[in-house]
Structure 1
Amino acid sequence: MAKLLRATHVPAPRELPTLADRVEGMLSRAAARGARVPDGLDSILRRVRARETSAPVLTHHDVWPNNVIDDGDRLWLVDWEFAGAGDGMFDLATVARAANLDIDGEHAMLEEYGLPGGAHRLAEARWSIGLFEGAWALAMHTARGSDGGFDFARHASDMFAGLKNVPN
């Protein structure tokens, strides 16, 4: 996965939205549909925006197992709905989280990607996943409700609560 992501993380076109842009859009849509956006997210969003890189790359922003196809010869990254411009570390953090990597696994992934000293950036990106997922879940709850097979409202609440654990 690290090699695949490194290959996809090419310089991003200027017009692509950043992770913070995506989060702002989802929160705005949720609020317009009547959702109460938790207090304090504006400062968290400013922190994420302040960490945006001056040389953004094309990022997928949704690298979960259901968006990766293994045809036996190579991996394919599909469903680029949330793609944007930003720090590729967010995609690596999503992989680390989805694979439940421990510290050694994270270091091996960072080494394979070509950023052996990126542990702090990875921790920061893992933290920002909570903001992105929370905004997504809140927007989904306002669009679909949470009475189906997945409780979007609960997931949003859980993700936002995790934002209290800010990495140093």
Structure 2
Amino acid sequence: MTTPMSDEKLAQLFDQIPCLAGRPRVIQELSGGLTNRNVRVTTPAGDYVARCANPGAEKLGIDRQAEHANSVAAHRAGVGAPVIDFRPDLGVLVIGFLDGKTFGIPDFSVPGNLARVAASCRALHRGPRFVNDFNMFARQRQYLETATRAGYRIPSGYGGLAERFHEVGRALAILDEGTVPCNNDLLAGNFVDDGEQVWIIDYEYSGNNDACFELGDIWAESALSLDQLDELVTSYYGRPRTSKVARARLLGAVGQYGWTLWGAIQNVVSPLDFDFWEWTLEHFDVAARELRGADLPRLLTDVATPD
């Protein structure tokens, strides 16, 4: 396991990036960032966010070139921060600082916020195509191969849900409507509210994907209620859609099943002082609850029934 990036190393990197090299320079640590060290950098010219990659990204399927290109596309769509500089040789992406409130889970319960989140997702999805695709079924296979080959610990019972996971995939394929540009990692902290609009940040896992993966990921990552999922999907599509609620819920479970392996890999390779095993178990519990749940047969029918 490698060690986290030091403050001294960070300063050395920033001295090589024109927009960050100015003095005086104030650096403020930002929350989140399980595969990056994210800092706000205040200079005489303005405020920026530097996303500094931690090692091990290749095991997680992160493509920094795609992250940069898709961040530019998200800004063009009107929901992403401006991209200021990209230094792949240094592992640093610099974006403009968005002055606003970072969402927490309770913010989804504020009246009107789910509709605002849905509007931002629609804007992203209608924006320029991303340069790559993201499919959790393919990503899960890659993660499983990585974890199995290296002998990483996986939650007990994980393999026993594989057939239901693939059964969900077969049902989703029946009414597949193609892909749109998606962030694919929409936990609460990746939304920033400036009082006028909700911005979407962090495009590490971005790629063209099923729109309902995005909605289901929001639901699953923030433990929203089923009523909130219904409101989110209805706001996104402009009317109640039973098939889309089912699709989002199933893809939420698919995401949790795949992200479980992400956590198992991070539990070994990440340099951060973070309980990735607990994170892994939490995501597996959600996946297991959904894939073993009494609602699954109905959801499989609903997702294959046009409305």
Common topology (TM > 0.5) = yes
Distance between the aligned counterparts of 1:67 and 1:159, measured in 2?
18
Change (3 A) 1:64 1:72: same
The match for 2:263 is 137
2:250 aligned with 1:124: yes
Q: Give the total of aligned pairs.
A: 166
Distance between the aligned counterparts of 1:41 and 1:14, measured in 2?
32
Deviation at 1:72, TM superposition (A): 2.4
User: Which of 265, 274, 296 is the matching residue for 1:149?
Assistant: 274
The match for 1:28 is 145
**Which amino acid counterpart does residue 146 of structure 2 have in structure 1?**
R
User: Which of 217, 224, 232 is the matching residue for 1:109?
Assistant: 232
Matched-pair contact (CA < 8 Å) for 1:27–1:138: no
Correspondence 1:8-27 to 2 at 5 A: 8-10=124-126, 12=129, 15-27=132-144
Deviation at 1:12, TM superposition (A): 4.9
The RMSD of aligned alpha carbons is 2.8
Structure with greater proportional strand content: 2
Distance between the aligned counterparts of 1:120 and 1:110, measured in 2?
10
Identity fraction in percent:
20
**Which amino acid counterpart does residue 127 of structure 1 have in structure 2?**
A
Contiguous gaps of at least 5 residues in structure 1: none
Change (3 A) 1:12 1:55: farther
The TM-score with structure 2 as length reference comes to 0.47
Deviating runs (4+, > 6 A) in structure 1?
none
Change (3 A) 1:103 1:157: closer
The TM-score with structure 1 as length reference comes to 0.79
Structure with greater proportional helix content: 1
Larger Rg, first or second structure (1 or 2)? 2
Change (3 A) 1:95 1:164: closer
Deviation at 1:66, TM superposition (A): 1.8
Matched-pair contact (CA < 8 Å) for 2:134–2:205: no
Change (3 A) 1:113 1:32: same
Task: Describe the superposition over 1:39-75 as per-residue Cα deviations: whole angstroms up to 9, x where unpaired.
Answer: 2354355345432535112221100122122222222
SS class of match (2:159): coil
